[in-house]
Amino acid sequence: MVFHLQLTLFLLLVFGYVCARVGIITKEGRKVLTALVIDLFLPCSIIRSFCVTFDESILQKMGLILFIGFAYQFASLFLSRFLFPGAEKGQQVCMKYGIICSNAGFMGQPMAEGVLGSEGLLYASVALIPIRLFMWSAGLALFTATDRKSVVKKLLTHPCMVAVYIGLVPMISGLRFPTFLDDALRYTGSCTTAVSMMVIGAILAETDIRKIAGKGWILYYSLLRLIVIPLVVYGILEACGVDAMLIDVSVLMAAMPAGSTTAMLAASYDGDAPFASGMIFMSTLLSMVTQPLIGLLFGG
């Protein structure tokens, strides 16, 4: 199951890569598609994922996945200080940010839905709350000074967070959307995976692999991000006897490549933007191989 899904995602990525190469997806077009995924497609999927029968076990699992998420982020923030000794300062900042903040929001949620279904997407949406909080606080602070009010505002008003608020209404109340609205949400949300992977393919098309293929720090970062971290997360949660679904979600989110915000922040605050782009390219490319292997943990 996981291998087939990963092959499908890889083909979608190739479609995006080819479309960008031949000029169908331009840089401006990619920005529009990215906005559609983050602001419309993904929120619709999240809202529908909350349309489940609410019971105490779901609430407990949501609380536990939230706790796991915060524990993971604090551990990542602490350990990132010691993982890259000897690297140039600009590159070190990018890699530290890449350990704290992955592509879990843009790539992780579609993967969670594809591998684990709507229940997986539900818990993945909750798991993203700590990630987004750290992204705009501790993560951003690596590049520049942060303002606490703006961090809170960005978190609370993020379209995916708003979708969580909306989704809680039918989950807690037991009410369901009218068929026409539910169908509209379903059709719109179904665009998430295809478009998000095509956007990633378009991003990869803009990167010159020859300039980054031989950079040891990028390969080292990719090894940590894609293999070491998810295996450590799996080992700890398995030893603690955590519910299998929550382990699957946590490992899947931990196995995501570097996020596109790494390059955006590096470019905005005079960081090493080419190195950050290389991190995104190489870790995303290698994830096409590592994620099916990590997926064996799901028994897929």
Whole-number Å distance between alpha carbons of 106 and 104: 6
The three-class DSSP label of residue 32 is helix
Residues in the chain predicted with pLDDT less than 70, given as ranges, are 1-3, 5-6, 53-54, 145-148, 151, 209, 211-214, 268, 295-300
Whole-number Å distance between alpha carbons of 41 and 47: 10
User: What's the pLDDT tens digit per position in 198-234?
Assistant: 887 887 787 776 766 667 899 999 999 999 999 999 9
Give the pTM: 0.77
The helix or strand, by DSSP H or E, that contains position 135, with its residue range, turns out to be: none
Which residues, 6 or more positions from 7, have their beta carbon under 8 angstroms from its beta carbon? Answer: none
**Domains along the chain?**
2-207+215-289 (1.20.1530.20)
- Residue 174, Ramachandran bin (φ over 0: left; ψ between -120 and 50: alpha; else beta): left
Please report the pLDDT score of residue 214 as a whole number. 61
